[in-house]
Structure 1
Amino acid sequence: MSVFGLKEEEQNDEVACYHMARYISSNEAAWRILNFFAHERHLTVVHLAIHLDNNHRVYFSAETARERVSVLRPTTLSAFFELCRGDEFASTRLFPQVPNYYTWDMSKKKWKRRVQGRFVVGHSEIRRPDALGRVYTLHPNDVECYFLWMLLHTVRGPRSLLVLLAVNETLCET
């Protein structure tokens, strides 16, 4: 909407000026008519690392180089494999679904069950808030990692990278 006018006296009605200058696009109008949340929605998004065995991304300085190389810290992926070995519920989930039910503890570098959110039907001890897991995207030219990415979106509850490399009980090299 656009309004143009000429007046001799200056009118200082801020509310009227706001309403006259406000623009609502068709997208915003549809969201408001359908009662969707347009603002004040803050979802937790957890970025999930993906890497081949012993190909962790490592950040170091000159002082911490020896320590970082000698002890590889767990990543979200390696901790997911460990979680699937010890938690029956986690072994029924895909890698991108883990942040829906577990939180990533940065200090301990491990997954722990969520304590907030709605209870999951059939599992009285498991909660699910509004959280999303996002696996870093990979280019198909990085063939090994790309197919690992695809497997992690298909195979439920893998206990290790070797489980993903096994086809009909035959261990494949790639």
Structure 2
Amino acid sequence: MLIILANEDKPKDENHIDHIVCSEIPDQDQFPQLYECVRRHMIHGPCGTLNPHSPCMEDGICSKQFPKEFQNDTLPNKDGYPRYRRRDTGITMTIGKYAVDNRWIVPYNPYLLMKYNAHINVEICATVKTHLDARYVRAPEAAWRLFEFPLHDKSRVVIRLAVHLPNQQPVYFAEGNEREALERAATKDTTLTAWFKLNAKNPDARQYLYDDIPQHFVFERNGTWKHRLLGENVVCRMYSVSPSDVERYHLRLLLLYTPDACSSDGLKTVDGQVCQTFMEAAKRRDLLRDDTEYERCMSEVVIFQMSQQLRTLSCVILLYCNPTKPVDLWNSFKAHMAEDFMQQVDGETTEAMAYYAIDAKLKEQGRSCSDFSIPSPTSIPYSFESKTINKEEELRIGQEMYAMLNQEQR
């Protein structure tokens, strides 16, 4: 990523460069978090004589010119890049079995490195002439640039709206800063909680749905919605929620159709009565559909796919789609899901085998048929019975079979 700064913001001398880019190991006692980030992400190699098989080695030389030389001060530009300060401070880090010093540090910005806790190489580029000379500019682009037409544009701003249960908003923090992150989250509203407060204070805002509010209001950095003064070219998106996350899924559903809620309880209020759950409120508002879509889907699979694929699909629907009546789906399609077992056993046992095949797939995801109130069969097919293994008997049989092997087989 190439970022071109305004003239007043460009680094004017070596001191400015040293404030932006660092190529040294920080003091572990004074900056323990930065020290750990540098150790994890900003060490090159090692390569060269320490590790001649490193991927960066070409003809016995590091393609990135590591290790660099020690130098007490940042030097002026060389080939478009300054030579950063790398003092011989005596501070080293142990990477594997190698000890590395400032000569092996990839240039970084301390703020960005600690903020993202990832490898971010930051350098000062004094000129982009070599970058431009390396490109082949064709006639259409040349004409476009000569006429000074815009090279890129953004027609819409995408606003993402939070969807979370009361007091369950996500909190992001760096390891060791949990308390500060919780205190900060407790005092700052999300887009959802700020929307509740906006409706409580501003009656005019109650005419808008949650996903329409960014077209008329702006969410500011202090966590409040303010009246939009310029432009309405925004695209609003609520975060998607899996139907298996039952309460949050129905919260999102209510937000799509309820314009005037002033709190989470207000969102659950239907005909003056506060419902116990968001799911109950959605049902009373007639927002929930039946399982017709899932039935149509499985009916189509019955025609074009085998029983095994139908059982897999039923597991997906149970795990991720939260059907309202899973038992009815089972009763409607259990005969089709058991068809590939019919050549092995009789009719009643085939359904039991289909049941246990589905149950085994669900258990791989930490669920079971009983979680969906699907009744277990009265008979357990042989292939799914739990067998007690007699270890002594199996050992005796194994030793007898081993004794029957010839010399080459052993």
With structure 1 as the length reference, what TM-score do the two structures score? 0.67
Residue 104, structure 1, aligned to residue 207, structure 2: no
Write out per-residue CA displacement over residues 113-169 of structure 1, whole angstroms, 9 at most, x where no aligned residue: 11113xxxxxxxxxxx11121100111111101111010010112100001112222
| Alignment-derived partner of residue 88 in structure 1 | 203
User: What secondary structure sits across from 1:96 in the alignment?
Assistant: helix
The equivalent of 2:326 in structure 1 is: none
- Higher share in helix: 2
Shift of 1:170: 1.9
Tell whether 2:259 aligns with 1:156. Answer: yes
Q: Cα distance, 1:64 vs. partner?
A: 2.8
Q: Write the deviation string for residues 29-84 of structure 1: whole angstroms up to 9, x where unpaired.
A: xxxxxxxxxx8452011000010001010011244311222452210000000011
Q: 1:132 aligns with which of 210, 213, 235?
A: 235
Counterpart check, 1:165 vs 2:268: yes
Structure with higher Rg: it is 2
Counterpart pick for 2:160 among 47, 50, 56: 47
**Structure 2 partner of 1:113:** 227
Q: In the alignment, what sits opposite 1:66?
A: 179
Name the CA distance, whole Å, in 2 between partners of 1:162 and 1:89: 20
Provide the C-alpha distance between the structure 2 equivalents of 1:135 and 1:114, rounded to a whole number of angstroms.
19
Match of 2:102 in 1: none
Which consecutive residues of structure 1, in runs of 5 or more, have no partner in the other structure?
Answer: 1-13, 19-38, 118-128
Q: How large is the Cα RMSD of the aligned pairs? A: 1.8
Residue number in structure 1 paired with 2:126: none
State percent identity of aligned pairs: 31
CA contact (8 A) 1:97 1:132 kept: no
Deviates further, 161-170 or 149-158: 161-170
Q: Which has the higher contact order (CA 8 A, sep 6+)?
A: 1
Instruction: For 1:51, give the aligned amino acid.
Output: H
AA partner of residue 227 (structure 2):
R
Runs of 4+ in structure 1 deviating by more than 6 angstroms, as ranges, are none
For residues 58 and 41 of structure 1, the distance between their equivalents in structure 2, rounded to whole angstroms, comes to 30
- SS of the residue corresponding to residue 89 of structure 1 reads helix
Q: Distance in 1 between matches of 2:183 and 2:159?
A: 27
Aligned residues: 127
The TM-score with structure 2 as length reference comes to: 0.30
What are structure 2's unaligned runs of at least 5 residues? Answer: 1-137, 141-151, 278-410
Q: Distance in 2 between matches of 1:173 and 1:47?
A: 28
Higher strand share: 1
